[in-house]
Amino acid sequence: MDRSKPVLSRRGLFRAAGSAAVTGSLICSGVAGVAQGALLEAESGAESQPVTAGMAAAAGGKAAGAPVVVVGESDGGGAGPRARAWPYIAEILRRAGVFFDQLPADRLAERLDRPDQVVLLAGHLRLKAAHRDRLARWVNSGGSLIGIGGTSGLDEVFGVASARPLAEGWIKLGAQDHPLVANLRSSLHVFGGFAVTPAGATAVATVESGPQGAKGSAILENRFGRGRAILLAPDLIFSVVHIQQGLPVFQDGKPAPDGSAPIDDGELKAEDGLVLDWQRDRTPMEPDKVPVFLEPVSDELREIILRSIFHLASQQGIPLPLVWYWPNKLPAVGHISHDTDGNDPTKAVAMLEVVERCKLKSTWCTLYPGGYPRGFYRTLKEKGYEIALHYDARTGEPYTRWSKDNLILQRQWLLKEAGLREITSNKNHYTRWEGRLDFLRWCQEVGIRADQTRGPSKQGTIGFPLGGSQPYFPLDDEADPPRLLDVLEVNMLTQDLVVVCPPQYGRQLVDSVLRHHGVAHFLFHPSHIQKPHVAETLADLVAYGRRRGLQWWTNRQILQWETLRRGIAMEAGPGRTFTLRPARAVQGATLVVLRPQPEHQSRLLVDGRPVSSTPWTAHGFTFDAVTLDLAGPTTLRIL
Ligand SMILES: [Zn+2]
């Protein structure tokens, strides 16, 4: 492959990835390594390094034949406004630990010389006739193709007769037990793309929209010659970005008609930008039947894309190793944060006693001004807690209004007060938010590398109002070209159990997260810890999560792991061999290898030696899992 030419003319993410000809998970490994270094140095007390590079701009290991090939739009200018979100497919696949190559359509021919790979068209692409013909011939001869958000002109390959643009709708499952959709529970609210009429393809799901809107099939499976094609007709990539990032917040949101979420409270906050639907996207909770966003829509939309890859790979016998979301076969991670509103040292000590009793390491988001006595910060640091910022843009004093200058000032204040060299994460007081991406850009500029603001302030917005349980790097789709922001967002599920909702919500939310393998993030204010039943509820939640197999981490640990994990690059070699190249040593990395059939266990060789694996189920598919310490290049062979 010629790696010297820029790959796509205007799509930065694709260009950055393609010009280095990279494997997926690992587009950012170079920078991730540097960033991780900065974190580790900060922890060990050495002078910390500024973190300036964006995740998207970096390049990882060389790819030779990754099992998944992503094809992007080569000219964003004419493909419509939603096309600006399509490069986000890279972030979706990276978070899932899928290794992939990215190529422009012009260079597809180089990769279509063999059938044993999955080609994914990221958006309704404007392919030239020659490229469409080439792709059709390749599928016909046994290739596996996935289309997202439209057919890209390959109607015959996808078995589709016609398509009608879709403004907004809900995917309705037909075949409940089909591997692409089995056991999905959310409303599957989607934005953009198409509803289509099948001509030969089997419809797995339909889409419903408004009274005058498009109706038809949403998910279709087709055999084309010796190959297979899956069409995800609604624009799932745009939908994930839209649900996560929401509308710009310049006015109060519309409240829930049932009175459960009065977000029109005169204060601008993250929820005011939510795009989900009060009636169709919420689920009544036990025991009080108040509807909340219990099922993470964007997690399930991501999973439909992943399941499409797994389904085709297993049917066509394509070897597919992934780096699991978490180390040591953890099914999910929990995270408890505290916002220090009031800065009452007595209540801080009371909270510390509770979390110490739970053997929990939590994140203390500290509010300006005042804060805690310096000795208390020392105690937190000695005991391994994370001290984070609780940016106040609510109080309205000169230094507590919404502005970048005030974020900088408050960060400087906390660095000094708490004797820190680095502040890794932040949560905004009252979940304050204005505009859409400004705050995340500010965080990137000042070196705050994780945000945990986006979540509810009302009972009726509890759960997943702004994306799902998967931590994610947001997309600056207003930049030209679009680029990822180097700030990991960890959504918050609810504030104080007992105080804002019944304690029973906690376990239901943990169960939702376990189904999707993300982060269960709960906020407990020290100001409420001495109220009846709060401490017991926190302890019960922590114990329940542990019984279900998750570990409770600080926000900083979540960022450190995600950075380390994304530093693992992969090269695919001949004979079902894959070489993993960690940017830094990784302890306890869990690799999962898709089984072609659920009952057919793969034999795995690591550096030539057989290793014992355990069966692993995720997103409805069966894998073989093995946990390894990766100190340097490591080969995995799948027999
Ligand atoms: Zn607060």
Distance (angstroms) between ligand 1 centre and the Cα of 430 equals 5
pLDDT of residue 261: 98
* Percent with pLDDT over 70 in the chain: 89
Number of Cβ within a 10 Å radius of residue 299:
24
Distance (angstroms) between ligand 1 centre and the Cα of 422 equals 21
CA gap 48, 221 in Å, rounded: 51
Residue 331 has pLDDT above 90, yes or no: yes
User: For the stretch 577-604, what's the b/e string if a residue is b when 16 or more beta carbons lie within 10 angstroms of its beta carbon?
Assistant: ebbbbbbbebeebbbbbbbbeeeeebeb
pLDDT of residue 76: 56
Residue 124 has pLDDT above 60, yes or no: yes
Residues 213-231, mean pLDDT to the nearest whole number: 97
Distance (angstroms) between ligand 1 centre and the Cα of 342 equals 9
Coil/strand/helix, residue 600: coil
pLDDT of residue 243: 98
Q: Which residue's entry shows tokens 């355990």?
A: 614
Distance (angstroms) between ligand 1 centre and the Cα of 611 equals 49
Distance (angstroms) between ligand 1 centre and the Cα of 445 equals 23
Judging by DSSP bridges, how do beta strands 604-606 and 118-122 pair with one another?
unpaired
Same topology, domains 12-26+57-240+299-318 and 329-553? Answer is: no
Phi, psi of 40 (to 5 degrees): -65, -40
The answer to whether the beta carbons of residues 7 and 104 sit under 8 Å apart is yes
CA dist 483 → 312, 425, 477 (Å): 29, 21, 7
Q: What is the pLDDT of residues 154-196, one digit of tens each?
A: 999 999 999 999 999 999 998 789 999 999 999 999 999 999 9
Distance (angstroms) between ligand 1 centre and the Cα of 242 equals 26
- Residue 284: is the preceding peptide bond cis (ω within 30°)? no
CA gap 86, 95 in Å, rounded: 15
**Domain boundary assignment for the chain:** 12-26+57-240+299-318, 329-553, 585-638
The answer to whether the beta carbons of residues 234 and 149 sit under 8 Å apart is yes
Distance (angstroms) between ligand 1 centre and the Cα of 258 equals 26
CA gap 427, 391 in Å, rounded: 6
CA dist 374 → 371, 389, 524, 558, 628 (Å): 9, 15, 22, 26, 41
Name the amino acid, one letter, at 571.
Answer: E
Distance (angstroms) between ligand 1 centre and the Cα of 140 equals 58
Neighbouring residues of 43: CB distance < 8 A, sequence distance ≥ 6: none
CA gap 135, 485 in Å, rounded: 33
Residue 535 has pLDDT above 50, yes or no: yes
Name the amino acid, one letter, at 151.
Answer: T
pLDDT of residue 413: 98
Residue 617 banded pLDDT, cuts 50, 70, 90: very high
Which of these, 618, 591, 614, lies nearest to 601 by C-alpha position?
A: 614
- Taking each continuous run of H as one helix and of E as one strand, the counts in the chain are 14, 32
Neighbouring residues of 137: CB distance < 8 A, sequence distance ≥ 6: none
Distance (angstroms) between ligand 1 centre and the Cα of 507 equals 24
Q: Please provide the average confidence, as pLDDT, over all residues in the chain.
A: 90
pLDDT of residue 64: 58
Q: Which residue's entry shows tokens 């973190």?
A: 51
CA dist 532 → 344, 501, 529, 537 (Å): 18, 14, 8, 10
Q: Which residue's entry shows tokens 């797995």?
A: 204
DSSP lists the bridge partners of residue 227 as 224
Which of these, 189, 270, 194, lies nearest to 455 by C-alpha position?
A: 270
Distance (angstroms) between ligand 1 centre and the Cα of 365 equals 8
Distance (angstroms) between ligand 1 centre and the Cα of 539 equals 22
CA gap 178, 467 in Å, rounded: 25
Q: Give the least confident one: 36-40, 115-119, 146-150, 423-427.
A: 36-40
CA gap 627, 179 in Å, rounded: 26
Distance (angstroms) between ligand 1 centre and the Cα of 396 equals 13
Name the amino acid, one letter, at 479.
Answer: A
DSSP lists the bridge partners of residue 146 as 120, 230
Distance (angstroms) between ligand 1 centre and the Cα of 525 equals 8
Distance (angstroms) between ligand 1 centre and the Cα of 418 equals 18
Residues 321-348, mean pLDDT to the nearest whole number: 98
Distance (angstroms) between ligand 1 centre and the Cα of 92 equals 31
Distance (angstroms) between ligand 1 centre and the Cα of 517 equals 28
CA gap 402, 520 in Å, rounded: 28
Residue 84 banded pLDDT, cuts 50, 70, 90: very high
The CATH classification number of 12-26+57-240+299-318 equals 3.40.50.880
Distance (angstroms) between ligand 1 centre and the Cα of 404 equals 18
CA gap 478, 475 in Å, rounded: 9
- Residue 598: is the preceding peptide bond cis (ω within 30°)? no
Distance (angstroms) between ligand 1 centre and the Cα of 428 equals 7
Distance (angstroms) between ligand 1 centre and the Cα of 219 equals 43
The answer to whether the beta carbons of residues 189 and 301 sit under 8 Å apart is no
Residue 75 banded pLDDT, cuts 50, 70, 90: low
Distance (angstroms) between ligand 1 centre and the Cα of 450 equals 17
Residues 198-208, mean pLDDT to the nearest whole number: 97
- Taking a 5 Å cut-off on Cβ, the residues next to ion ligand 1 are 339, 341, 429
Neighbouring residues of 382: CB distance < 8 A, sequence distance ≥ 6: none
DSSP lists the bridge partners of residue 256 as none
Classify domain 329-553 at the CATH superfamily level.
Glycoside hydrolase/deacetylase (3.20.20.370)
CA gap 499, 636 in Å, rounded: 50
Distance (angstroms) between ligand 1 centre and the Cα of 490 equals 17
Judging by DSSP bridges, how do beta strands 604-606 and 609-611 pair with one another?
antiparallel
End-to-end CA distance of the chain: 27
pLDDT of residue 108: 87
- Rg of the chain on CA atoms, in Å: 24
Residue 148 is inside which H or E element, if any? Answer: strand 144-148
Distance (angstroms) between ligand 1 centre and the Cα of 492 equals 13
Residue 550 has pLDDT above 90, yes or no: yes
CA dist 362 → 337, 474, 523, 542, 556 (Å): 6, 24, 10, 11, 10
pLDDT of residue 166: 97
DSSP at 479 = S
Dihedral-angle region of residue 549 (phi above 0 means left; psi in -120 to 50 means alpha; beta otherwise)? left
Classify burial at 398, counting beta carbons within 10 Å of its beta carbon; exposed 0-12, middle 13-18, buried 19 or more: exposed
Residues 231-249, mean pLDDT to the nearest whole number: 98
Q: What is the pLDDT of residues 435-473, one digit of tens each?
A: 999 999 999 999 999 999 999 999 999 999 999 999 999
Q: Which residue's entry shows tokens 């990822």?
A: 484
Residue 90 has pLDDT above 80, yes or no: yes
Coil/strand/helix, residue 497: strand
Higher pLDDT, 39 or 274: 274
Q: What is the pLDDT of residues 353-385, one digit of tens each?
A: 999 999 999 999 999 999 999 999 999 999 999
Residue 105 banded pLDDT, cuts 50, 70, 90: confident
Which of these, 325, 307, 323, lies nearest to 118 by C-alpha position?
A: 307
